[in-house]
Structure 1
Amino acid sequence: MSTGEPLRPRRGWEPDEGPDDPAASDDTPEPPSDPARRGALPEDAVETGASSDEAPAPQGNPYARPGSDAAREAIPGPVLPISDTPIPAPVFPRSSGEFADSHSPAPRRSALSSTTPVEAEPVAAAAPWFREHRRSLLVWAVGGLVVALVVAVVVSMIVRGNRPTTTPNSQSPTVSTSPSTPPDAVLPSDLLTPEDLGGISTGTWSVTGTTHAAAEHEGRVACFQTHEDDANPTFSAQRTLATSDEEPVAALHRVDAYSSAPVAKAVYEARLAILANCSEVPALLSGADEVTGLAPEASQLTIVFQENKDRYHTVLLTLSGAVVQVLDVTQAGSPVDPESLATALTRSQTQLSERQGEPAPSDVAVKATFLPPADPAGWLVPSDLPRIRAGLGRWNMTPPGPLVSPGMGCENMTLVSTGGPKTRTQATFLMTQDDETPDTFGLDEMRFEFSKEKPADAFAEKLGDALKSCKKRSTGSKVQELEKVTTTTPDGKVTSRLFVINRPITAKESVTYQLIVGQVGTTVTYSLITVDDNYRFSNAQLEALASRTALRAAQG
């Protein structure tokens, strides 16, 4: 007992008062100051066993007004909500992960006795706040549920509104898991069969692969190895076929349907431009054919890949409505008959044209024509230039710009300033990816534009005559003029002059040039090619290059 704490009498002690003191002679214990716990007997009943006829006087209600009837009534017991009634807590099995020496669980509420202190009841302490705010909590809960339902409805309407609408079909839609199911515009039967290709080669044809999605196509048309169309087809099918020969003839047929005819036309024109500028290595544009009567629009080009043995690709491109077709037939050594591709494609084109509402093929004819214009118009492009060594070398072009070449010294004029031309431009071509290419090897293509054709003709003649007479002005120079080359262009026939000139630069060294001078209307072209005795164009290649230069000049 701490110091200063008042001493409370214990029952075993003798009272200080005398026996005549009523308070001392009354050994009835005072009632406990705390109210009795619910379910526990009064302390006097437990200890003294008081009889029923000696019930203690009821205590008054200290919270009532003194003297009133309520003050003489006993204190009413608390009315607890159902949730405050002590309920034995459930006993869960021990976790298998607990240690054996962990603390024992607290005794269950059903084990309470009169001698055990009452456990704290946090639920009972929070009950008054819950009763007081129960209505507010209910209102908030209902409000939250309503907001959630409204948000769900709005989101559902937005999602359903963003879905593309489809026109209901009178027939029940058939769900197909196969990606090869085409729309009505194109059917699998539109792909070529071995029987369709019988006129191209007498060998036995067989199908080597068929795919029905653009992403599945493995083979590529010549010049399209790195090209991707700007528009995706709504349906695409492709088939490859080949003969059983030792050096087989191979064919690739592709059909693409697009969302509309204008989209298909844009794809057709883009593909034609790719063929006209074929930039693959080692491709050389060989020729073109005009195809009539097969489809509303059709073009055919032949490209030779200058490998150890030349391989020719003849590519036929057609447009009918919203469908674009391409047929690429390749053969080593020589191109196939240009008419055979149109014949092979007639059956397929007939079926496609009928579904597109276009005229069916009729009186199909194929004849040679000019190559389509390339970009930049009026100039050679890398695929116009042949290779010196088979399968090797890549031509690279510097775009046209102001003329800067001083010439090779036999022109007898200052090319950058001589009078007459209204414009002077130049493009340069260099060879890479061939370790035998001389450092000086390259081609300068120069164009001189005049206001009228007559001064252009005079300028071309003056330049040609100066080259021919170079040995008279340059000691030790050797000049060889080759046969003139006549080329048919859209502007008529054009004649080009070809020269091979060797000029000494030191007592022991010399430089060889191959030169081409041509005139097309008001344009004069001058090609200066610096070569080596062991690395130069053949005369046949030089003649073909002269014709191609004239054609490109006419297309500018």
Structure 2
Amino acid sequence: MEGRTQPNFFTERARTAQESQHSGVVDRGPDPNTGHNQPAAFTGAAHRGDTNPQRDSFAPRSNVGPTSGYAGSASDFASGNIFIPGNTPNPDTPEPGSLGRPADPDTRFNQQTDQIASMPPARNGVDDSFSPDDEEFGAQPERPKAKKRSRKLHLLIGLLVLILLGAAAFLVGMFLADKKPTPVITEETPTPTIYKVNTDDLWAPADLADIDETEKWFISETVAELSATSPQVACIAAVSGNAKPLASSQRTLSTRSNKAAALQQTDTYDSETTAQSVYDIRVTKLASCKDSPVHIVGATAVSGIADAATQVTISNQGEKPQFHTVLVTLTGSQINMFDVVHTGAPVAAEAVAEAASKSLERSCKDFGTCPTKISTTPIIPPKAAPAGWLIAPDWPQITPDTGLWTATEPGVLKAVGTGCEDLTLSTVKGPTERQQRTYLLTQDPKAPKSFGADELIFTFADAKAAKKFADQLGENIKSCPKRLLTANVAGGEKIAGKVGETTYAGDTFTVTQTPTEDSKVLFYTSLITVDKKVIYLVVNTTESFKVDKKTIKQVAVRAAQRATQKS
């Protein structure tokens, strides 16, 4: 060719053979049919010593794309550093000439060697190129199969991705379909409920007509808000910490002669539970009348009037004693307190209950239980702490309008008695338990300094042992004058009664001790058996401060009644 020196065949062959040791080009020698030199096949097997260059030339390639006629070194392939030539001719596209070969073998040879010389150095050590001349020797290139496998792999991966995306889209769609939209809530300020007591429901003068037919009643005052100066029901002062009622109202009524008066207080609470708690507190205060110079006269059970009711009658023991007949009722979330005051004698509990039912009939429709048939039964006063013992208001005043009884807590028995017991009360055998409580009268200038009372309670294993002890102690007291010339014993009234299924019985005595001609000591004693308990009540006084026998019996009976109450 013009401008180009024709290479010497043998010289070029020797040169190409030497290069093939380094580049992996294998010289195939002359073509037996044409006599021309065959192009060298580029393979990576020559420099690795592989005896099967075809296996290396058509090994599966990287899936990064066509690598026509090029393979890198083994070290680069192992490291993944695979080069993809950008302008390498496609072996599947035939060149002009038979079977894709140039017509001029020399030109073909020169093109072949120029092409080899222009290739970049091998990088991955895998020869995935092939020569068109391979077809002449029946070599079937497997490159298209590798492409096909690569395409199938791409299709498989793409299909898998589509399936995953579809599944994800399905799940998201299901989630969104099931998710309900969050409703928009508009917060509104609730309108507060205002509770008011209908004053028409309170006691009217006509409701009290049967309490005292000789008196004409009228309304003194009606208030909707109570204060510290508002009238209060006997023994039920305002309790700090109590739940505040939603609404309250109070009405007082009077008579022309001022001989009688009445008060009704209504309190409505936020729930029945709250009302019940407040009701219990008020009943406890009514039962104990703590720190009040009053005397608890008695109590009555009232039924058929409300969900719950408690009635207690109290006296202030003045020169002209005033009696309070107090009734506390609970109807749903409403508490009503009724207090009828009468001078000289108490109003019967039944009369107060009937009058109260008329007011409750007007208000019960809003709160629950309405009055039906009223029934009353005398009972012992409600239990007060400490249960089983007398409390201070069980003791009446000795001097009218004067005096306040106080009491110690039950404790170790230390009392010596009257001197006529003929046994040591603190150590005598028999009782399983023995205790003492002492009562003192204060704020009465007429009372001697030694004035007071001891309540001794002996507990036994059974009622038989208790009766045996009481009988022995009673006989010792009666026979005291025979043993002590300074002693005098006078019998008193018998005591007997029943509380529920429990009976009680006993005696009262007046014991006088005259240690000298100028001094005398009086003892009022009561000895009562209550089931397996023995109550020994001793009141010591002087000739100048005597207590009538009626009062002594009254307190003794109350002591027996209280002994039946359990904590």
TM-score (norm 1): 0.66
1:403 lines up with 2:413 in the alignment:
yes
Equivalent position amino acid for 2:476 in 1 = A
Distance in 1 (CA, whole Å) between partners of 2:353 and 2:409 is 37
**1:436 corresponds to which of 443, 446, 450:** 446
1:209 lines up with 2:232 in the alignment:
no
Contact 1:517 1:527 in 2 (8 A): yes
Distance in 1 (CA, whole Å) between partners of 2:517 and 2:356 is 64
1:250 CA drift (Å):
0.1
Instruction: Tell me: CA distance 1:274–1:444, structure 2 relative to 1, closer, same or farther (3 Å).
Output: same
Aligned to 2:304: 293
Aligned to 1:459: 469
Aligned to 1:222: 234
Aligned to 2:390: 380
1:494 CA drift (Å):
1.2
Instruction: Tell me: CA distance 1:281–1:359, structure 2 relative to 1, closer, same or farther (3 Å).
Output: closer
Q: 213-222 vs 498-507, which deviates more?
A: 213-222
Distance in 2 (CA, whole Å) between partners of 1:216 and 1:397 is 29
Aligned residue for 2:276, secondary structure, equals: helix
Task: Give runs of aligned pairs for residues 11-410 of structure 1, distance below 5 A.
Answer: 166-167=189-190, 183=195, 186-202=197-213, 203-215=215-227, 218-225=230-237, 227-228=239-240, 230-245=242-257, 247-356=258-367, 358-410=368-420
Distance in 2 (CA, whole Å) between partners of 1:300 and 1:382 is 19
Distance in 2 (CA, whole Å) between partners of 1:217 and 1:341 is 25
Aligned residue for 1:440, secondary structure, equals: coil
Q: 436-445 vs 334-343, which deviates more?
A: 334-343
1:196 CA drift (Å):
1.3
Aligned residue for 1:551, secondary structure, equals: helix
Contact 1:211 1:217 in 2 (8 A): no
Distance in 1 (CA, whole Å) between partners of 2:525 and 2:188 is 66
Distance in 1 (CA, whole Å) between partners of 2:351 and 2:405 is 32
Q: Name the larger-Rg structure.
A: 2
1:214 CA drift (Å):
2.6
Distance in 2 (CA, whole Å) between partners of 1:507 and 1:359 is 68
1:233 CA drift (Å):
0.8
How many residues get paired? 379
Equivalent position amino acid for 1:211 in 2 = V
Instruction: Tell me: CA distance 1:272–1:166, structure 2 relative to 1, closer, same or farther (3 Å).
Output: farther
Distance in 2 (CA, whole Å) between partners of 1:166 and 1:216 is 34
Equivalent position amino acid for 2:555 in 1 = L
Contact 2:248 2:266 in 1 (8 A): yes
Instruction: Tell me: CA distance 1:346–1:217, structure 2 relative to 1, closer, same or farther (3 Å).
Output: farther
Equivalent position amino acid for 1:482 in 2 = G
1:208 CA drift (Å):
0.8
Distance in 1 (CA, whole Å) between partners of 2:209 and 2:519 is 58
Contact 2:503 2:531 in 1 (8 A): no
1:526 lines up with 2:536 in the alignment:
yes
Contact 2:332 2:369 in 1 (8 A): no
1:533 CA drift (Å):
1.2
Distance in 1 (CA, whole Å) between partners of 2:188 and 2:309 is 36
Aligned to 1:107: none
Q: Which runs of 5+ in 2 are unaligned?
A: 1-186
Distance in 1 (CA, whole Å) between partners of 2:404 and 2:191 is 56
Distance in 1 (CA, whole Å) between partners of 2:268 and 2:189 is 20
Distance in 1 (CA, whole Å) between partners of 2:235 and 2:189 is 39
Equivalent position amino acid for 1:329 in 2 = V
Instruction: Tell me: CA distance 1:266–1:349, structure 2 relative to 1, closer, same or farther (3 Å).
Output: same
Contact 2:404 2:443 in 1 (8 A): yes
1:192 CA drift (Å):
0.9
1:415 CA drift (Å):
0.6
Distance in 2 (CA, whole Å) between partners of 1:347 and 1:439 is 51
Contact 1:217 1:238 in 2 (8 A): no
What percentage of residue pairs aligned between the two structures are identical?
Answer: 34
Instruction: Tell me: CA distance 1:378–1:216, structure 2 relative to 1, closer, same or farther (3 Å).
Output: closer
TM-score (norm 2): 0.65
Per-residue CA deviations over 1:185-238 (Å, capped at 9, x if unaligned) read x32222111111111122111111111013376111111246446211111100
Aligned to 2:565: 555
1:507 CA drift (Å):
4.4
Per-residue CA deviations over 1:501-554 (Å, capped at 9, x if unaligned) read 111223432211100111111111111110111212201101101110100111
1:539 lines up with 2:549 in the alignment:
yes
Aligned residue for 1:348, secondary structure, equals: helix
Contact 2:502 2:531 in 1 (8 A): no
Q: Which runs of 5+ in 1 are unaligned?
A: 1-163, 174-181
Instruction: Tell me: CA distance 1:261–1:414, structure 2 relative to 1, closer, same or farther (3 Å).
Output: same
Instruction: Tell me: CA distance 1:265–1:450, structure 2 relative to 1, closer, same or farther (3 Å).
Output: same
1:279 CA drift (Å):
2.6
Q: 377-386 vs 361-370, which deviates more?
A: 361-370
1:474 CA drift (Å):
0.6
Instruction: Tell me: CA distance 1:166–1:390, structure 2 relative to 1, closer, same or farther (3 Å).
Output: farther
Contact 1:496 1:546 in 2 (8 A): no
Instruction: Tell me: CA distance 1:276–1:216, structure 2 relative to 1, closer, same or farther (3 Å).
Output: closer
Aligned residue for 1:288, secondary structure, equals: strand
Instruction: Tell me: CA distance 1:501–1:242, structure 2 relative to 1, closer, same or farther (3 Å).
Output: same
Distance in 2 (CA, whole Å) between partners of 1:543 and 1:216 is 39
1:452 CA drift (Å):
1.2
Distance in 1 (CA, whole Å) between partners of 2:288 and 2:537 is 20
Aligned residue for 1:414, secondary structure, equals: coil
Aligned residue for 1:295, secondary structure, equals: coil
1:346 CA drift (Å):
1.7
1:167 CA drift (Å):
3.2
